[in-house]
Structure 1
Amino acid sequence: MPFRSISLVLLASLLSAGAALGGEVRAPKGVVELFTSQGCSSCPPADGTLRDLVVQGDVVALSYHVDYWNYLGWTDTLSSRENTERQYGYAKTLGRSGVYTPQAIINGREHVKGTDLSVINDKVKGLNDSGKGLDVPVTAAMRGDEIEIEIGEGKGQADVVVAYFTKRQQVEVTKGENSGKTMEYWHSVYDVQSVGTWSGQSMKLNLPGKLMGKSKKDGCAILLQTSGAGGEPAAILGATILMAGRKKY
């Protein structure tokens, strides 16, 4: 292959990776939610897999730090009771008696161990092939000082859920099972809010842009998510991502 052709191919690859690193997911194939902990010795490989999914750029990838391993000697600096409650909600939806880390929930419908990238991608593909993918279009954009969310038509009823996250951060762990390690985390969720209800008809919502936070590292995922009888999270019908400082994804 001529040098010029090789250079163009390399440039295209770098541009593609750069877009993914920036959080762009134009038409996501699925939603992957990783439940992890800084105090879990099995979690660092899964945190790396989550990063790979972000770089891959074709799914909405989110990381939720749980608090039930904090007793092991290190309090996860990104953990929250709300993240733990979300994972237990999924356990109820999936008919499970307990939770574990690292656990990846796919489209709110199935779970796998969060360390294996190929298994996660196969599960996303399998859900799409079986009609359990993201069938309802969801887009988001910054319009002046507001976040504008548009949702298309479909069947059923679901909540419009916004998960706010920090794009990338490093944490030095000084105690516990990962003592002495500097950990890197991507798309760590720090707040989840239900902002509306969708009933199958196309709709538009506007939210205050200040909710994205002042840091340009921050972003949010918009999930069109059904819920169980007790309000627990269930199947996700559509999703997108919006990064602070970006116009539309």
Structure 2
Amino acid sequence: MQPVSKCQRIYRATCLALLLAVSPFQAQAGTFVQPKGVIELFTSQGCRSCPPADRAFEQLVRQGDVVALSYHVDYWNYLGWADTLGTAENTDRQYAYAKTFGRSGVYTPQAVLNGRDHLKGTDSAELNRRLDGMQASGQGLVVPVKASQNGDQLSISVGSGTGKANVVVVYFREHQTVEMLKGENVGKSVDYWHSVTDVQTVGMWNGEPIDITLPARVISSDKSDGCAVLLQSADEEGNPSGIVGATVMKGRPTNF
């Protein structure tokens, strides 16, 4: 991958800002539109196989009809470059998914789809095809989830459905460019989108509509400037499982 120039970075950022000026999950008439799925990419700056997945992930963010979240893990740091966005908590989430899937280990780049399936995250077309298949088979996002920031409050609304799930808020940084100075990707400059900074369970859902209000300051801080809300079930051991509803919003006072 060739280094990205300053002009290229400005052009990309401008295009994305125009694309996301209106939430992709809100029709022009103001009607809520359900995203077709959730993609969680587990990636690392220290993994030579990850830059193609990071580029595919950027395409999904720009596509605008999926909830896309990127978790940087820390277990490749020993190769000579400590991931500047990696956290132990992100690694823990990936290992929890491994238990859900009955796997003995983890890998990068791994894409987890709707908390139900996983594959190598380098092919955006295949990721879309898998999500479309899940949606058609009833394994998509069947419960409406809405979020809006009003002043100093973040309001979350979850609709009705069947089953039980956790209401999970995933905070992220919208865009960062990182130049690797060491390690397997030395000399590469990579754009990272929706890099997760924190994951918090803020409520429980049992099939009945609920509304939750949280302080909004965390998504307009230096650490995070956006968040996704996931309605996610768990297995008997508490590991993350199927996601039945989701939405995403940026850290500005705009309704979604």
Q: Once the 2 structures are TM-superposed, how far is the Cα of residue 23 of structure 1 from its aligned partner? A: 6.2
> Moved runs in structure 1, 4+ residues, more than 6 A?
14-17
Alignment size in residue pairs: 236
Q: 1:25 maps to which residue?
A: 25
TM-score by length of 2: 0.88
Give the RMSD, CA atoms, in angstroms. 1.9
User: Kindly tell me: are residues 193 and 16 of structure 1, through their superposed partners in 2, closer, same or farther at Cα, counting changes over 3 Å?
Assistant: closer
Letter in 1 for 2:234: S
Shift of 1:120: 0.1
The one-letter code of the counterpart of 1:239 is: A
Deviation at 1:48, TM superposition (A): 0.6
Following superposition, the deviation at residue 183 of structure 1 comes to 1.4
Report deviation, 1:239.
0.2
> Measured at CA, do residues 23 and 47 of structure 1 come closer, stay the same or move farther in structure 2, by a change above 3 Å?
farther
Secondary structure of 1:64 counterpart: strand
Residue matched to 1:238: 245
Name which of 189, 192, 195 aligns with 2:199: 192
Matches within 5 A, 1:31-50: 31-50=38-57
Show the counterpart of 2:150: 143
Q: CA deviation at 1:226?
A: 0.4
| Alignment deviations for residues 124-170 of structure 1 (CA, whole Å, 9 cap, x no partner) | 01101111000000000012210000000000110000000000001
Specify the alignment match of 1:82 in structure 2.
89
One-letter identity of the residue aligned with 1:228? D
Contact 1:17 1:55 in 2 (8 A): no
Please tell me whether residue 125 in structure 1 is matched to residue 132 in structure 2: yes
Amino acid at match of 2:186: S
What is the alpha-carbon distance in structure 1 between the residues aligned to residue 233 and residue 157 of structure 2?
Answer: 17
Task: Indicate the residue corresponding to 2:177 in structure 1.
Answer: 170
Aligned to 1:106: 113
Whole-Å Cα distance in 1 between the matches of residues 224 and 165 of structure 2? 29
Q: Contact 1:139–1:248 (CA<8 Å) still a contact in 2?
A: no
Stretches of structure 2 that go unaligned for 5 or more consecutive residues are: 1-13, 27-33
TM-score by length of 1: 0.90
**Distance 1:209-1:114 versus aligned 2 partners, 3 A rule:** same
Distance 1:143 1:17, change over 3 A: closer
Q: Deviations over 1:147-205 (max 9, x none)?
A: 00000000011000000000000111100000011111000000000000001000000
